[in-house]
Structure 1
Amino acid sequence: MFDLVLENARLVLEDATRDCVVGIKDGDVARIAEPGTRLEGEQILDCAGKLVLPGFIDLHVHFNEPGLTRREDYSTGSSSAAAGGVTLFADMPLSNEPYTLSEAAVRDKFERAAKGSVVDYAVWAGLVEDNTDQLAPMAEAGAYGFKMFTCDGGDGFPMPEPETMRRGFSEAHRLGSFVGVHCEDQAVMDRIAGQDHDDADEISRFLAVHCPEAEMEATRRVIGLSEETGGHLHVCHASLPEVVDMVAEAKKRGVPVTVETCPQYLLCTTDDLSRIGGRLKCTPPVRSADDVEGMWQRIEAGAVDFIGTDHSPAETFEKERASFDQCWGGINGVQFLFPLLHTEGVVRRGLSPELLVRLYSAAPARFIGQYPRKGTLKEGSEATFVIFDPEAQWTIRAEDLLTKHRQTPYAGMSCTGRVEQTWLRGEMVCRFDSDTGKHRLTGRAGCGRPVIPVNNKGK
């Protein structure tokens, strides 16, 4: 007798789609049988007309604990993640106070997430000028990786000096970990900021300073560091096709490097930024329509390793200030990545759902060392999955967000495909309520588990 049986299941994995019956026992996938097979279960779920997908994995979010919970916390952030089908997230080491720059701070984050998160969680640590002696203790405490900036990361999160960067990459290599880098070159941005922009509006000045040259120059430099030290480089939130190409060329030379991108760089352009304003402000910024097209070409070619949201919310007033320069730079988006990219990638561009499963489930599971327990649905895998209706037609509304503040640049976008249910180890944690038109949490705060990286570069 199984605990749960999924009948009429259309199982979508990274390499195949198959019709089957799934038996779940003690939180794991216990059996996958041919269609029509009769399996006895305490609970039967008819999945006809739906897709059954491995739980999504978002390795780039900012949930703001501790210290900035006026913006988000582990309860609200993970609830929104669950509504988007995300069953594991990795929380960044900044956009919280204090920053996650010590062993004690890493352990504190794990303790806080254990109390608040409804899905599984991992914790990033930071790499700054004065904490290289903390990299080993933070890794021992379970840190997923080390985040570093090649530009000003804000008070308390300074850009390391070149020698410190080199030492950090070498130590990450020794520890079997990696350095995730925000690639924008501060010198390039300072040079452009010092030029005469008196006739430009705030958005035009912002785009001029956060220019493609800054992102590409920083990427060149950190690829060089990776090549020199052997330390694994992960390029965070790439916005440009040229950046993905640089990573691809480095891989051919044997450099240990990977790259992610985010939905804003696949869906939005500088024209959208001018129209939407502060709600779409992020760094690197959204780019041209040609760049968006180029990023999709790299997605289809397999040159992007995986995707994440860079979910970085704020209070509504921080995103809707009269001055664009004063608006918070970060996007509220963890609830909508898969429906948006299913709409644009699968429905409009004819890409396969399997490709999205690779980018948002299987590949990130490998990167954090959790495949095949996570990132797939095979006998012996966790019964952590998403029920997805590929035909549902709906429009994103800010009031439907489960985040602490209900604003997003994606409001008003039409979607084909909706997350109907999210399951974590055989227990439903969120479902879409057709009566209210909103997602409703069914899991409890604290039911998520910590994920400690194992062989976390997928090698």
Structure 2
Amino acid sequence: MGFHAENNVIIEALIQKYKNQGKTYAKAHSETLAVIKLLEPAHWTGITLHIYHASHPRCLELIRWFKGQGMDVTAETCPHYLLFNEKHMDKIQAFGKINPALRSKEAAEGLRPSLLAEDIDFITSDHSPRLLERKTNPNVFENSSGGPGLESILPLMYNAAVVGRGLSVVGLPVFWLPIRPAVLGSARPRGSPEPPFPLKALRGKMAHCQNEAGRA
């Protein structure tokens, strides 16, 4: 089962608070509370759980702990949570309005080590484009959430991982985009610790790619 980890009661209350204060956009979130409320029941019921669009390293800490308890849980993130932060809202305005919201610079940087540590299982686009007139109101609350991602996910991650970090072209962008989601999404017996495809081989290939990048 997959869930978008936010608490709408908290979000709506904060939005109203910010509107009353005359703010044009908010910088707050309730993601970690939603994640823990999903993880604990999933642990006791034994279901397979997937967390969409993890945007804060604290969420990954919680997920890692439950994985250590033997729980079958996966998580994803998106390029905008890895590469952008709430400070960019000053420039891009409502084009940066997404759910969950952009986080602090420290949170974005804190997500990146989770990729190679396999706390983040794969990267997705969260593709949700909007008409231009739904993203240009000076008051961010009057705009739609979401943005295009399908056409930008590969060039963004290629630029960040291969050009920026020197990883092999068959490393992070490939394994965390088309291949790993397909592997983890394969049908498998409930509670099985490994999907049918040998993830150990995938990890070995990733390690080889990282070693090759280090020699370059």
Q: Verify same fold: TM over 0.5.
A: yes
Shift, 1:321, TM fit: 2.4
Matched, 1:252 2:68: yes
Quick check: 1:184 aligned with 2:6?
yes
* Distance change in 2, residues 1:223/1:280 (3 Å): same
Contact in 1 for aligned 2:82/2:112 (Cα 8 Å): yes
SS in 2 for 1:291: helix
User: In structure 1, how many angstroms separate the alpha carbons of the residues matched to 2:18 and 2:75?
Assistant: 34
1:357 and 2:179 matched: no
2:42 counterpart residue number: 226
Q: Could you say which residue in structure 2 is the equivalent of 1:276? A: 92
Letter in 1 for 2:183: R
Per the alignment, residue 334 of structure 1 pairs with 150
SS of the counterpart of 1:234? strand
Q: Which amino acid aligns with 2:176?
A: L
Query: Match of 2:209?
Result: none
2 CA distance for matches of 1:247 and 1:259? 8
Residues 251-289 of structure 1: per-residue CA shift (max 9 Å, x gap): 110111100000110111111112101112101011111
Going from structure 1 to structure 2, the CA distance change for 1:180 and 1:342 (only over 3 Å counts) comes to same
Partners in 2 of 1:268 and 1:456 — Cα distance? Answer: 37
In the other structure, the counterpart of 1:455 is 188
CA distance in 1, matches of 2:188, 2:44: 21
- Work out the CA distance in 2 between the residues paired with 1:200 and 1:290: 27
CA distance in 1 between counterparts of 2:108 and 2:40 reads 26
Does the CA-based 8 Å contact 2:93-2:138 persist in structure 1?
Answer: no
> 1:185 Cα deviation (Å)?
1.7
Q: CA deviation at 1:346?
A: 2.1
SS class of match (1:303)? coil
AA matched with 1:359: W
Please list every run of 5 or more consecutive structure 1 residues that lacks an aligned counterpart in the other structure: 1-178, 370-453
Distance 2:18 2:181 in 1: 43
Letter of the structure 2 residue corresponding to residue 351 of structure 1: L
- Paired with 1:237 and 1:194, the residues of 2 have a C-alpha distance of 24
Deviations 1:178-221 (A, max 9, x none): x1111112343345446476445221xx323xx2xx10000001
In structure 2, C-alpha distance between the alignment counterparts of 1:360 and 1:196, rounded to whole Å:
36
Residue aligning to 1:237: 53
Comparing both structures, which one devotes a greater share of its residues to helix?
2
CA contact (8 A) 1:226 1:233 kept: yes
Cα offset for 1:293?
0.7
Once the two structures are aligned, what percentage of the paired residues are identical? 29
Matches within 5 A, 1:6-405: 179-193=1-15, 195=17, 198-203=20-25, 206-208=26-28, 211=29, 214-353=30-169, 354-369=171-186
Structure 1 Cα separation of the partners of residues 62 and 154 of structure 2:
26
Secondary structure, in 3 states, of the residue corresponding to 2:188? coil
Secondary structure of 1:259 counterpart: strand
CA contact (8 A) 1:368 1:456 kept: no
Match of 1:392 in 2: none
Give the distance between the partners of 1:247 and 1:322, measured in 2 at CA: 37
CA distance in 2, matches of 1:190, 1:226: 26
Measure the CA separation in 2 of the matches of 1:316 and 1:192. Answer: 26
The SS at the match of 1:331 is coil
Contact (CA 8 Å) 2:78, 2:123: kept in 1 or not?
A: yes
CA distance in 2, matches of 1:290, 1:184: 20
Letter in 2 for 1:296: R
Secondary structure of the residue aligned to 1:202 is coil
Q: Is this contact kept in 2: 1:232–1:256, CA < 8 A?
A: yes
Aligned 8 A contact 2:46 2:71 in 1:
yes
* TM-aligned CA distance change 1:348 to 1:192, over 3 Å: same
> Which amino acid in the other structure matches residue 217 of structure 1?
L
Q: Is the 8 A contact 2:98 2:147 kept in 1?
A: yes
Larger relative contact order, structure 1 or 2 (CA cutoff 8 Å, min sep 6):
1
Structure number having the greater strand percentage: 1
Alpha carbons 1:181, 1:234 under 8 Å: kept:
yes
What secondary structure, in the 3-state scheme, does the structure 1 residue paired with 2:27 have?
helix
Q: Aligned equivalents of 1:368 and 1:456: distance in 2?
A: 12
Q: Distance in 2 between matches of 1:367 and 1:456?
A: 12
How many Å apart are 1:356 and its aligned residue? Answer: 2.2
